[in-house]
Amino acid sequence: MATRKHKLWEGRFAAATAPIVEHFTASIAVDKRLAPYDIAGSLAHCHMLVTRGIISAVDGKRICRGLGEIEQEIADGTFRFDTADEDIHMAIERRLTEKIGPAGGRLHTARSRNDQVSLDLRLFVRAEIGAILKHVTAFQKALAATARKHARVVMPGYTHLQRAQPVLFAHHLLAYHEKLERDGERFADCRRRADVMPLGAGALAGTTFPIDPEQVARELRFARVATNSLDAVSERDFIVEFLAAAAILATHLSRLAEEIVLWSSAEFAFISLPDEFATGSSIMPQKKNPDVAELVRGKTGRVYGNLMAMLTILKGLPLAYNRDLQEDKVPLFDTVDTVKGCLAVLTAMVPRLVVHADRMREAAADSFLLATDVADYLVTKSVPFREAHNLVGQAVRRCLESGRRLEDLPLKEWRELSKAFGSDLREWLSVDAALARRSAGGGTAPANVARRLRGL
């Protein structure tokens, strides 16, 4: 029942680990992704051990050479990942000792896997935030380019998914640009707090060796060194923050995805999907489905789930390290891959959406979308807004009862409702005028939107 493979920690054990336990506790299949960070961390640690005279320069050289070769083996795909090694940290150390002999056993001086894994995760999160920020910026550029391309397209703006007031399609797209801007800020902010070098915490209490964590921090370009060892090895809040920032980002992408699904339906027909970004049905020959947008929407569930998983793993964990923490990697890696995938596909798809400007304008014109403007007109004639609202409501009712549009009501009828109505009302009953008037604050006025676009 027992394996014969030697463990790095086997000293106190009389019997070997049961295979089922080995299999159950191993994380190497997942955490092998941390290998480049593990090696970078080990190199910095080794350099510091040499500087401080904790290991000899000769051993340090051997270790660094060995780590370099291992890095190459991993890159070439010749490195053997073995479940018996448990995790990537032990796999690399095992291979190092195979290569350079007993000197390999000196690398782990003044270090524990507990501070080592924290370091690897911080390096990973830092690097991935950099990559995600690039994706966010690329998607923002795609949104801005699409907005520019359709700068004059008018659509109905919605509240409660009921047509409400006309807006520019570009204004709608730029709303997502703003959301993405905050998403980027959240990731950058999270990166600031993850940017702490935890080595020196050891297993939990610190180390007896005269280490120099500042040197390691400098080499790995960390902003700060951890100031409490128990905190350093027990905490994953930087992962929670990362997953939370990703969950909010996923919410934004999912809302846009939902709109793409709606807009591409026959009911809206505001856009068509480019063929390359749609899929067909195995049974209905006529179908063209918005699967990309649906999957962006659907994957949000996983991204939320990953956040909940991480919070739940941490809840109730006594200090300091507990093996539960090993479960942090699957949600973290999955979220990284998922949000990068979603951002990349939307960046490619959004600029290629086929926009049906006529259909959008028709939807923006065919309704009571200018009712608010008529009320605003009355206010310019000194009617209190609440009263104006009521009067226009009555006009809307008249129109509904007689199958007319606001524009169809003759001035005589308007004046039956209020003597404040005059012939200049015409100037207010136009979609373009309605857009142009909304120039205050972040309104949809074309001049505003154009200014915003120039600043991007």
Binding stretches for ligand ARG (CB under 6 A): 27, 31, 87, 113-114, 117, 321, 323, 325-326
Please state, as a whole number, how many other Cβ atoms lie within 10 Å of the Cβ of residue 106: 19
Taking alpha carbons only, the member of 18, 14, 13 closest to residue 3 is 18
Report in angstroms the alpha-carbon separations of 384 from 79, 89, 224, 379, 388: 78, 72, 59, 6, 6
Q: How far is the CB of 112 from ligand ARG (least distance, A)?
A: 7
SS3 83: helix
Strands 154-159 and 162-168 come out as antiparallel
Q: Which residues contact 367 (CB under 8 A, 6 or more apart)?
A: 156, 163, 405
Q: How far is the CB of 324 from ligand ARG (least distance, A)?
A: 9
Q: How far is the CB of 114 from ligand ARG (least distance, A)?
A: 5
Which of 445-449's residues contact partners 24+ apart within 8 Å by CB, and which partners?
A: 446/151, 446/152, 446/168, 448/171, 449/147, 449/151, 449/168, 449/170, 449/171, 449/174
Closest CB to ligand ARG among 25 and 402? 25
Closest CB to ligand ARG among 91 and 434? 91
Closest CB to ligand ARG among 114 and 146? 114
Closest CB to ligand ARG among 117 and 383? 117
Give the tokens for residue 285.
Answer: 């020959």
Closest CB to ligand ARG among 95 and 186? 95
CB 204 within 8 A of CB 321: yes
Q: How far is the CB of 37 from ligand ARG (least distance, A)?
A: 13
Quote the CA–CA distance of 110 and 94 in Å, as a whole number. Answer: 18
Report in angstroms the alpha-carbon separations of 185 from 29, 132, 306: 33, 11, 21
Q: Which residues contact 11 (CB under 8 A, 6 or more apart)?
A: none
Q: How far is the CB of 103 from ligand ARG (least distance, A)?
A: 23
CB 168 within 8 A of CB 448: no
Quote the CA–CA distance of 166 and 434 in Å, as a whole number. Answer: 7
- Give the catalytic positions in this structure: 160, 281
Please state, as a whole number, how many other Cβ atoms lie within 10 Å of the Cβ of residue 35: 22
Closest CB to ligand ARG among 50 and 197? 197
Region of 316 please: left (phi>0), alpha (psi -120 to 50) or beta: left
Closest CB to ligand ARG among 27 and 335? 27
Would you list the DSSP string of 252-287? Answer: HHHHHHHHHHHHTSTTT-SEE--GGG-B--SS-TT-
Q: How far is the CB of 340 from ligand ARG (least distance, A)?
A: 22
**Residue type for position 433:** A
Strands 354-355 and 224-225 come out as unpaired
Would you list the DSSP string of 32-50? Answer: GGGHHHHHHHHHHHHHHHH
Q: How far is the CB of 229 from ligand ARG (least distance, A)?
A: 14
Q: How far is the CB of 52 from ligand ARG (least distance, A)?
A: 24
Closest CB to ligand ARG among 38 and 259? 38
Give the tokens for residue 60.
Answer: 């340090």
